Amino acid sequence: MSLERVPFELSKEYLDLVLRAVEQRDAGFIRDTMEGVNPADISALLDEVETDEARYVLDVLNNEVGAEVIEELEEDTRKEFLEELEPQEIAQYIVEMESDDAVDIINDLPVKTREEVIAAIDDPESAAHIQELMRYDEDCAGGLMAKEMIVANINWTVIQTIDEIRRQVENVEKIYSVYVVDDKNKLQGKVSVKKIILSRDNTRILDIYDSDIIHVETYMDEEEVADIMRKYDLDAVPVVNLQGKLVGRITIDDIVDVITEQAEEERALMSGISGDVEEDDSIWAISKARLPWLLIGLVGGTLGAWAIGFFEGSLERNAALAFFIPLVMATGGNVGIQSSTLVVQSLANRSAFEDSISKRIGRMFLVAIFTGVVLAIISFLIVFLWKDDQTLGTVVAVSLVCVVMLASFMGTATPLALDKLGINPALASGPFITTTNDILGIIVYLAIANLLLP
């Protein structure tokens, strides 16, 4: 019995209808309700079904749509799905993708399958592009670029260029501009499609192209490429090799992926999670990513307890000291996180005119003095009004000034030092800073109490 033709919707109800359609082999329902739907939405739906069910849905859709859906699938889901396909079947989807996306997917396959897929690609040009891109590391410009682009010789006329655009446009999803090269394929500049259309047929590209063009080299790190495209607000950037020859282009969608991955990695580090994990991963995978930092926190807490025990005599003489340990620890942790976060943000958006390390630490010192004094005055009033003890209020106030300055220094200096060592500075914004400042805060607070209290 044929199912009712309902519109596509990312809902549990529609998912149930799709599963029934797969069970009944109702290809018409799937084809009709998914026609014209964004592949990203179809991918979100297929992430929720079993591999064999997803395979039936993709078999019903045409290969072009299926290729886009596979690109958008979650990495784990896509890997499981491709394991069920023959190399010839994978190749049918690969030829519909842009070369950079095709390489990303092929590189996730076992080596033997990878070779079989490339051998099964019936388009020699596509196979050659894929093999060329596979030489580059995935985190450099060469690994990000796609080979599909519109290229015109500097000596061509406008009518020749238009003919070339018509010939190449079938393989290029988006045309941002036409890149201009010389007879040796060295990048000379670019020319906009608008300028080509408005020029006379016999006008030479030499007379209308723009030689002022921003480009990147194949060996550039992906973060450097992202910074360039973000700084100059580029939709696409050409890639050249060491000889200056045009070898590909990087589009904004690939850079958005890079920026998103960077943000997710830094957020995980700041939260005390190592590795690439998601909520629906296995219990072991999630635990393995979280345990290292939790163990560091456990060690830090133990050292904090040892520090408190070292000053046990002071606490016995004045039990009220214990009331304000959480205040000192929380203040130090918050100040450290604030300082390190600001530094990490500045390192992520580097400027050619950024201050020297000494100037940054000097500014931090002034900010720490001001905020520390304000917090000290407030805390002194709270302690004095609550405990009616001027000396205890002085201990808490002086401790806060010292802890704020120390935490600010740690929060500023640590990410700068990690950056110099080539380690992700976001590491300094997580449990590392919090645990360190907790221990130092306790030691400073109880040491000052030991000195000032009778």
Q: Say how far apart CA 203 and CA 208 lie, in whole Å.
A: 8
pLDDT of residue 1: 45
Chosen domain end from 109, 137, 165: 137
Domain identity same for 155 and 124: no
Domain identity same for 437 and 300: yes
pLDDT tens, per residue, the chain with 454 residues: 456 666 787 888 888 888 998 999 888 888 888 988 899 999 999 988 888 898 899 989 988 899 999 998 888 888 888 988 899 999 999 988 989 889 989 988 998 999 999 999 988 888 998 999 998 988 899 999 999 899 999 999 999 999 988 888 777 878 888 999 999 999 999 999 999 999 999 999 999 999 999 999 999 999 889 989 988 989 999 999 999 999 999 999 888 888 887 777 766 666 656 556 565 566 777 777 677 777 877 887 788 888 888 888 877 777 888 888 888 888 888 888 788 777 777 776 665 445 666 777 778 888 888 988 999 899 999 888 888 888 888 988 999 999 999 888 888 888 888 778 777 676 656 667 777 888 888 888 888 888 887 6
- Does 6 reside within a domain? no
**Could you tell me if 275 and 288 are in contact, meaning their C-beta atoms sit under 8 angstroms apart?**
yes
Query: What pTM, to 2 d.p., does this model score?
Result: 0.67
- Does 293 reside within a domain? yes
**Could you tell me if 130 and 118 are in contact, meaning their C-beta atoms sit under 8 angstroms apart?**
yes
- Does 269 reside within a domain? no
With a CB cutoff of 8 Å and minimum separation 6, the contacts of 97 are 67, 68, 71, 105
Chosen domain end from 103, 137, 171: 137
The CA-atom distances, in angstroms, between 178 and each of 149, 151, 244 are: 8, 6, 17
Domain identity same for 300 and 393: yes
> How many domains would you assign to the chain?
3
Domain identity same for 158 and 133: no
Domain identity same for 302 and 429: yes
Tokens of 390: 């001027």
pLDDT of residue 438: 83
Domain identity same for 126 and 194: no
Chosen domain end from 259, 294, 314: 259
In eight-state DSSP terms, residue 240 is E
- Does 266 reside within a domain? no
Domain identity same for 395 and 288: yes
Tokens 């039936």 correspond to 56
- Which strands make up the sheet holding 178-181, listed edge to edge? 151-153, 178-181, 187-191
Domain identity same for 314 and 423: yes
CATH number of the domain that residue 213 is part of:
3.10.580.10
Q: Which domain holds residue 421?
A: 283-452
In eight-state DSSP terms, residue 341 is H
- Does 389 reside within a domain? yes
Domain identity same for 290 and 437: yes
Domain identity same for 172 and 122: no
- Does 272 reside within a domain? no
Q: Please state whether 441 falls in left (phi above 0), alpha (psi between -120 and 50) or beta.
A: alpha
- Does 341 reside within a domain? yes
**Could you tell me if 364 and 408 are in contact, meaning their C-beta atoms sit under 8 angstroms apart?**
yes
Domain identity same for 430 and 350: yes
Domain identity same for 173 and 62: no
